[in-house]
Amino acid sequence: RYAKLLLERGLIVRIARGRYAGSQHLRRLLDGINPLSRLIAVARPILAAAASRENATAHLGTYENEMVTYLVREGLPSIFTREHAQLEAYCTGIGKALLSQLSLRDLDAYLRLPMVKLTPTTIVDPELMRSEVEAIRQRGYAIDDGEMQAGLVCIAAPLGVIEGQNCAVSFSYPGQKLERMDIERISARLLKCADQIASRMAAKTPVSPAEPHHRHIAAGP
């Protein structure tokens, strides 16, 4: 009954028998009340262009309730992430980049939460995660070596605090091995994207009407 009503209002779309997803209209409505709506509009074209160049999936995310909330997802359709969905922070590149921006007190509180080993490379020891976060702070970017899903490599960089929320960006590459990737090149390009987004936000640059404001809903599990 509720699904029928939401379909009639154009808020959801049917993607398979008994399965629905948020419509473009619903997502535009959500963006309109999101305090980070300007950041989303600024970041989307930058990340879309970068994802195309890198043959990757590019994300913008924020830290909410000890989780990563994905605000922008552009690029390869094969990765399971979706906009407005949440994932754990400790086992994702973008999540670890967000953790690196926490105060020592907030990080201590986070590390008291349970962490589940999802793959052989997932870090679940609090002291090892503390060392990982410190390494991210030192080098300026995070690496997820198949910690959420085996074979999925992610490089992520913090954006800082925007509208009172910690934000970060990432490039994700499915079916990769970390040792075969040019991490220095990828991280440099990611940091350049982060700088572009931060500069435009700081300069209050108007968002061009020509910039796309669309949603890509990926097929996922």
User: Which domains does the chain carry?
Assistant: 1-33 (no CATH), 35-202 (3.30.450.40)
Residue-wise pLDDT for 162-220, tens only, equals 988 999 999 999 987 878 788 999 999 999 999 999 999 888 756 654 344 433 333 33
- Give the separation between CA 164 and CA 161, rounded to whole angstroms: 6
Tokens of 177: 């091995």
Tokens of 137: 């702070």
- Give the separation between CA 30 and CA 132, rounded to whole angstroms: 34
Residue-wise pLDDT for 18-36, tens only, equals 666 767 566 656 655 567 8
Residue-wise pLDDT for 75-103, tens only, equals 988 888 999 899 999 999 999 999 999 99
- Kindly report the CA angle at 155 between 150 and 160, in degrees rounded to 5? 135
- Give the separation between CA 117 and CA 111, rounded to whole angstroms: 14
Tokens of 99: 């953790």
What is the pTM for the complete model shown? 0.78
